[in-house]
Structure formats: C-alpha cells, structure tokens
Amino acid sequence: MANFETLFKPLFEIFFVHAKSQPLAFVLAFIFTFSITPLIKDRLTNIEKRIDEGRSCPAIPRLGGLAIFISILLTIIFYLAVFGRYTPNGIEHLELEAISVGALIIFFIGLLDDIRPLPALIKLSSQIIAASSVWLMGIRVEFLANPVHYLDHARMSAFDLNDISSFAITVFFIVAITNAINLIDGVDGLAVGVCMICSVASWAINLSPLLNQPAAAIFAATMAGSCFAFLRYNFNPARIFLGDSGAYLLGFSLACISCIGLTKKVTVVILSPMLVLIFFIPLLDMLYAVIRRASNNKPIFKPDLEHFHHKLLKLGLSHKQINYIFYLITFIGGLISTTILGIDIGIIYLTISFFIVFIWLFFSLVMNYKKQK
C-alpha cells in the first residue's frame, strides 16, 4: 500500500492539486484553438483555394497555424494575467521569452510563405535568425553526448561545447526539427497528430525530477492541447490546413523545449537517444529526403512527392490509415522514452494519452454519430 501511495501521490498532485498545473494549460489551449479555428476557417474560405489538375476544389484555407499561434499566445497571457507568472516557480532563465521571440519570427516567416511562396534561401536564413535569437537568450545545447559512453561507462559521458560549437549545434538542431515537421505535413492530420504526441512525451519528460523544467512542461502541455483541438478540423477530410506557419511554429517550439533539457551532462546523455525516439518519424523522413535528393542531383529544398507518406498513398493506404501507423510509431517512441526516466513518468505519459484517446473516441463515436443521424 505504501508503494502504491508513493507511486501515485505525485501523479495525483500534478493533475488535481496545483491550480497552476500543466493540465490547466492543456485545457485552455484546447478551448482557445477549438473556438478560434472555425472562425479563421470561415473567414479565409473565400480567399484560400486548393488547385487540383487545373480545377478549383472546394476552398480549404492554409493558414491554420494562425489559430495555434493565437491560442498559445492567449494561454501565456492568461497565466501571466491571472497568476502573475507562467510556472509555479516563476519565469526562470528567460525560457518563455526566448521561445516566444523565436516562435514569433518563425511563425511570421511561415505566414508570409503561406500567402506568397518565399525563396528557400530566405526561409532558411530566417530560421537561422530565429534559432540564433533563442541561443542568445539562453536556450542552448552546452554538451554533446559521447557515443562511447553507451559502450564503456568508464569514459566521460559528454563533451563540453564552447560557444561556437554550442551555437552551431543548437541552431542546426532547431532548424532540422523545424523543417522535419514541415516535411511530414503532406497528409491530412499527420504533422499535427505527430506533434501532439511529441508534445505529450515532452510534457511528461520535463516533469521528471531529473529535468524539473516547469516552463518547458507547461509550454509542452499548451502545445499538446492546441494540437489536439486543431486535429478536430485537420484530420481527414481536412477542413483547414496547418500551413508552413503552423508547421514551422510547432517544429520550432518542440525543438526549443528539447534544448531546455540539454543543459546538464547527465540529461544530455539520457535525453539524446530519447529525442531520436520521440522525433523518429520526422527525422527519418528528413534524412531520407536529403539523401534521396542529393543522390539524384536535385536541390535539397525542392519539394517532391517521394516522402514516406506519399509512398504509402501510392500503395493504396488512406490518409487515416497512414496517420494511425505514424501515430502508433511515435507513441511507442514516446512510451519507451518516458519509461526510461521512470515508471511514474511513463504512467503520466500513458494517463495523458489515455485521456486524449478517450476524448477522441467520444467525438468520433458519439458526437459524429449524432451528427450523421
């Protein structure tokens, strides 16, 4: 009985005791996004059009990222206005400000690209500027895991990075994750759903005593709630698209949350393989795209229809089937990662995931059934 209380008491306190806990951020972001998205969809329906083989299809707006951006912003403002702070411990080390500044830059670049496509060099330069601003404000990778550590524990677990190498690795990581999320946004609901699962995993991981990053945990909860609500309108058949603005925003924010935990040698060694598991699908797809385009002497940034989801479409799988496959792979990666940190963290991850699945089934089986009848 004592072990049971020891295991579940922290879980109970996290979800039901603290008024400024992460579930509040999740619920607020969900409500904001769920309410704002249809308004944006209706306003933009007559502006945005999807062209298919020269014929106009029913108008599907591509600026869905605006709803996610507004909901995240409103959630942050709510916390600051009501509680005077964003986390139970206040705002520490400028994490919130750093992510907000970088996300603002990356979002507007994506928004401009959605309205009128920008050259790849301008987009890449803007992403580097956004990532650089985050590094300057303190979100940075300061150590690099030593691969030999996993084979020989007697050796040093991580390498110290100087400012130059820290800057280069941090910027490269953030830009890579930002573009990786954007690349998988080729099937209705795929990028948003994968980001939601990654956000839930990041939420649970940052609650671990090893990291103890309340700002990152609440920001991850905010993103999870926003993605979950947006998925209601973006899942196949999509009524609104995420757009580059939304994909960039989600990828950039997830990368920054990951970097917050990479400030200690012990966390770098533990989190490095976890990040690979959590972002397995986006990273693998991006790596495959780079190798494929380079081997065919094609520009790396030139879009094509050879991503994993495109190949599965050609095999005859539907959008929903592809989503479920990628969701499952991402979920398993998150489960392994959180369980490595401890059974209690794994239980938190499973609890949040169970709650989301329950709400999803309620909407799918109950609300949609009534609407169809």
> Per-residue pLDDT tens for 309-366?
989 999 999 999 999 999 999 999 999 989 988 898 899 999 999 999 998 888 777 6
CA distance 105 to 114: 14
pLDDT of residue 53 exceeding 50? no
Beta bridge partners, 52, equal 55
pLDDT of residue 16: 42
Token pair recorded at residue 249: 């925003």
> Per-residue pLDDT tens for 113-166?
988 888 989 999 999 999 999 999 888 888 776 655 544 444 446 667 788 988
182-185: which pairs have CB atoms within 8 A and are 24 or more residues apart? 182/244, 182/247, 182/248, 182/251, 183/282, 183/285, 183/286, 183/289, 183/307, 184/281, 184/282, 184/285, 184/307, 184/308, 184/309, 184/326, 185/242, 185/247
pLDDT of residue 81: 76
Residues with Cβ within 8 Å of residue 351, at least 6 apart in sequence: 11, 15
Do strands 143-145 and 158-160 pair parallel, antiparallel, or not at all (unpaired)? antiparallel
CA distance 35 to 187: 23
User: Cα(first)–Cα(last) distance of the chain, in Å?
Assistant: 48
CA distance 369 to 373: 6
The better pLDDT of the pair 53, 234 is held by: 234
pLDDT of residue 286: 92
pLDDT of residue 54: 40
Q: Where are the domains of the chain?
A: 17-364
Taking CA 140 as the corner, what is the angle to CA 138 and CA 142, rounded to the nearest 5 degrees? Answer: 115
pLDDT of residue 135: 92
Taking CA 344 as the corner, what is the angle to CA 201 and CA 261, rounded to the nearest 5 degrees? Answer: 45
pLDDT of residue 268: 64
In this structure, of 6-20, 28-42, 224-238, the range with the lowest mean pLDDT score is 6-20
The better pLDDT of the pair 16, 209 is held by: 209
pLDDT of residue 62 exceeding 90? no
Q: Could you tell me the pTM of the whole model?
A: 0.86
pLDDT of residue 43: 73
pLDDT of residue 11 exceeding 60? no
> Per-residue pLDDT tens for 160-203?
778 898 899 899 999 999 999 999 998 999 999 999 999 999 99
Contact 206, 352 (CB under 8 A): no
pLDDT of residue 50: 44
Token pair recorded at residue 91: 């705002």
> Per-residue pLDDT tens for 196-250?
999 999 999 888 887 878 778 888 999 999 999 999 999 988 889 999 999 999 9
The better pLDDT of the pair 355, 41 is held by: 355
